[in-house]
Structure 1
């Protein structure tokens, strides 16, 4: 096992840094603060975009041939992330995390988080149940893992739990202590409960905190006609099932990395996945997935 709590003088330099057992850290300007990176397996890749700052974070590669891609971020990363064999975790640009978000990816599945997300205290994302469950009559397994996808500008409320197979559309709000199990959620929706149900459609939120607002500011912000965070399906939308197949067809972490670099440089600027993560438009406030 190799554990990194600070970068060496050589590792501080941008570029490819080859570690023991064919593990690689690819980084630009990145910093570690009270954080550690653990490699237990072989053939893994950690990709840190420019400006990544890890604080109170733990990244653990517990298996082989997996990749974690952290996009550039104006906020500090606070994550507790573990990946096992042949898995992938991608976090988009400028996601705010109140405390270390717990991410667990196993059994060759992915967890994808889009840009500009707001992740509150004690949020959990996982794509497997961790234990196999079988039907007594058929003897067949009934709880296979599924990848998790979170769109752009999604608000995951305090202590919310996102489970395998969940696909949460851009602009959506998940209320505190909600449990989202294996469901497709339309963009610009609000969910609450355990299991979570849609309580409101056609909503959006702004990142700015209201805690310090004065009476005047409360009045000023009583309405908002900003259409930046309204998400609709269009010609730039990518089929999420095809994306999953493409990731799962990759035989090496390097192949997955090439896909994620393409997403980082091209797709997320235009955005994104069919049914779930969609491109913003100013044309209408309607919800195409209702």
Structure 2
């Protein structure tokens, strides 16, 4: 078992690795296994964060953000967690379990008390056949996605770029939320199709602002399928599941870090 609470602890790691120099404030990083990698891009701030590698051969990649990471992460064996650039997180919990993956693109808004899980914690079996019926599954979230407060995202969910998940929603297993679609509720229902959002904060708008911003002229947040640009979520997951932890890092660099094509995560 290895614990990291300071820069000195990072230097003294033996069985696991941290790349980068994160600023740690009231943060604990626990390695319960071996051959795990945590990548902290730039001088990111981990504040009141709790990161636990509760297994071996897994990788977490935290891209640069001007805002602080205030998150709880539990990742277990042979899994990948990638978080893209400039995401805004409330106090959220991410659980990557049973050798699955969690991919979150760039420029997302993720509210407080959001929970994302790739498993249901305990196995469930058919009474007659005795076959298991609740296998875990990866979660993939595109670029510029808005997830409201107190949202629960279940295993197998795929969310395309530009989607909006309203507060207090429950996203059931294997859900597909299409790009530029607003869903909400429990059970979820489609509120609007063909919509987009910006990060302009409405709370500070004056009457003049409301008038001036009643229309938006750019198509920058419209996402669409583009051949040889849009990536297959299922193919990404399949490839990651067949790579070593070092190969996963190389894959992340090529497919997520260097590839900034707008429509890469359209669904």
Q: Normalized against structure 1, the TM-score is what?
A: 0.88
- After superposition, the CA RMSD in angstroms is 1.5
Secondary structure of 1:199 counterpart: strand
Distance 1:216 1:105 in 2: 45
Partner of 1:118: 109
Write the distance in 1 (CA, Å) between the matches of 2:119 and 2:13: 29
Corresponding position of 1:94:
86
Deviations 1:162-183 (A, max 9, x none): 1100000111100011011121
What corresponds to 2:158 in structure 1?
Answer: 167
Among 19, 41, 56, the residue aligned to 1:26: 19
- Equivalent residues of 1:160, 1:178 under 8 A apart: yes
Shift of 1:272: 5.5
Q: Does residue 45 of the first structure (1) align with residue 30 of the second (2)? A: no
Which runs of 4 or more aligned residues in structure 1 lie more than 6 Å from their structure 2 counterparts after TM superposition? Answer: none
Matches within 5 A, 1:121-136: 121-136=112-127
Query: Following superposition of structure 1 onto structure 2, how do residues 127-276 of structure 1 map, counting pairs within 5 Å?
Result: 127-181=118-172, 182-235=174-227, 236-250=229-243, 252-267=244-259, 269-271=260-262, 273=264
Q: Are 1:54 and 2:50 counterparts?
A: no
| Cα distance between partner residues in 2 of 1:188 and 1:272 | 12
Cα distance in 1 between the residues matched to 2:148 and 2:116: 12
Q: Is the 8 A contact 1:71 1:264 kept in 2?
A: no
Is the 8 Å Cα contact of residues 224 and 263 (structure 2) preserved in structure 1?
no
The question of whether the paired residues in 2 share the 8 Å contact of 1:18 and 1:25 is answered with: no
Once the two structures are TM-superposed, the CA of residue 18 in structure 1 deviates from its matched residue by: 6.6
Relative to 1, partners in 2 of residues 1:238 and 1:264: Cα closer, same or farther, differing over 3 Å? closer
Tell me how far apart the structure 1 counterparts of residues 196 and 220 of structure 2 sit (CA, whole Å): 9
CA separation of 1:164 and 1:151: change in aligned 2, threshold 3 A: same
CA distance in 2, matches of 1:272, 1:85: 31
Gap regions ≥5 residues in structure 1: 12-16, 279-288
Corresponding position of 2:6: 6
Query: How many angstroms apart in 2 are the aligned matches of 1:66 and 1:31?
Result: 22
User: TM-score when scaled to structure 2?
Assistant: 0.95
Aligned length: 265
Mapped to 1, the partners of 2:181 and 2:12 lie a distance apart of 44
Show CA shifts across 1:162-221 (max 9, x none): 110000011110001101112111100000111322221101001121111111111111
Question: Unpaired runs of 5+ in structure 2?
Answer: none
The answer to whether the 8 Å contact 1:62/1:83 transfers is: yes
Offset of residue 34 of structure 1: 1.5
User: Aligned with 2:204: secondary structure?
Assistant: coil
The residue that corresponds to 2:73 in the other structure is: 81
1:70 and 2:65 aligned: no
